Amino acid sequence: MSAIEDLIDRRRLRRKLSFWRVAAIVIVAFAIAAGAYALSADRMATSKDQIARVSIEGMILEDQKLLDLLDRLKDEDAVKAVVLRIDSPGGTTVGGESIYEAVRAIAEVKPVAAEVGTLAASAGYMIASGADHIVARRTSIVGSIGVIFQYVDASQLLETVGVEVNAIKSAPLKAEPSPFAPAPEAAKEMINRLVMDTYEWFVALVAERRDMSMAEAKALADGSIFSGQQGLKNRLVDALGGENEVRRWFEEDRGITKDLVIVDREPKDDGFDFSMFAGARAAIYGVFGLDPRSGSLTTAVLHKAGHLDGLVSLWQPLGGASSLR
């Protein structure tokens, strides 16, 4: 290679390096500016009198960031009322219980309404019942009041492939039911007691919140789902409609002026530095079909997989019903 060619190559390399340095500076500057703007916009939004709207969507888990948001809304003087926009098939009973309790804490100091989208079933309906007023579309789905515990018996598959799993346990019911052997009757009875204990609590909660007797609540708590219209007749829903109906109730029943703006409030990310890149992270999660609201990759993957631990109050997995057919 001649000296001239070598000089040309070095100049080309310097130009490429300069381009990427400038690009990196621009990206960092944009991220800082976007983060500063987002923080400024958030401060402005939360300082004005408003109706706060919180979306509860997808699989319900115990979400500490969501619980922190609900706790902040309870204490913010600018928040005059709260709307829960629910579109969920349910999830873990612990997740539903924790969010329900947070909703009831808000309702002690300011009005709370639940606006059902496509679906508020199982733990989703549990959360809705924490509101003072439930609004649903005529064709929304509500109900599925109940609890389920599912386990896999893969013993025949293991036998087919020639795998034997042995265990030494401190007691017969330790780690039962096991996927490696058929569940003994004692284990089934144990799980049934666990399920029914939580079921009775769920039914009593619905009876109290919807002003029903236990007998009336149990008649609806056989796992059945109902349209919004059916839910209205069965007193699981207070009114049919959407945002306008929520506003009407706030104004006529709770004296909340109709001029208040509805502000969508979302759980905060951890720290300023991370909030700068929240938009980019959400976009990347979206590309791979993950929940863009998730604060970590682990949470996003678990939401996508529908991973649930413990007792669940669930009608169908994510995406189980988008319409009646």
> pLDDT digit string (tens) for 161-176?
999 999 999 999 999 9
Residue 134: is its pLDDT beyond 80?
yes
CATH 3.90.226.10 fits 48-145+223-314, yes or no: yes
Q: Could you state, in order of their start, the residue ranges of all structural domains in the chain? A: 48-145+223-314, 147-220
Task: Report how far apart, in Å, the C-alpha atoms of 235 and of each of 36, 85, 112, 135, 205 are.
Answer: 47, 19, 18, 11, 14
Cβ–Cβ under 8 Å, residues 64 and 269: no
Among candidate residues 136, 123, 127, 323, the one with its CA nearest the CA of residue 228: 136
Same fold across 48-145+223-314 and 147-220: no
> Which pLDDT score, from 0 to 100, does residue 318 have?
46
Mean of pLDDT over the chain: 83
Q: Cite the active site residues.
A: 122, 174
CATH superfamily, region 147-220: peptide peptidase (sppa) like domain (3.40.1750.10)
Residue 64: is its pLDDT beyond 60?
yes
Question: 298 falls in which pLDDT band (50, 70, 90)?
Answer: low
Token pair listed for 175: 């780690």
Characterize 199-220 residue by residue with b for buried, 16 or more Cβ atoms within 10 angstroms of its Cβ, and e for exposed: beebbebbbebbebeeebbbeb
HSE-CB at 1 with a 13 A cutoff on CA atoms is 8
Provide CB contacts within 8 A for 232, sequence distance 6+. Answer: 136, 238, 239, 240
Provide CB contacts within 8 A for 157, sequence distance 6+. Answer: none
Question: 141 falls in which pLDDT band (50, 70, 90)?
Answer: very high
Stretch 133-159: mean pLDDT: 95
**In the chain, where do the E strands start and end?**
50-60, 79-92, 112-121, 133-136, 141-143, 225-227, 239-240, 261-264, 312-314
Relative orientation angle of helices 3-47 and 278-287, to the nearest 10 degrees: 100
Stretch 279-286: mean pLDDT: 58
Question: 52 falls in which pLDDT band (50, 70, 90)?
Answer: very high
> Which pLDDT score, from 0 to 100, does residue 274 have?
45
Record the pTM: 0.76
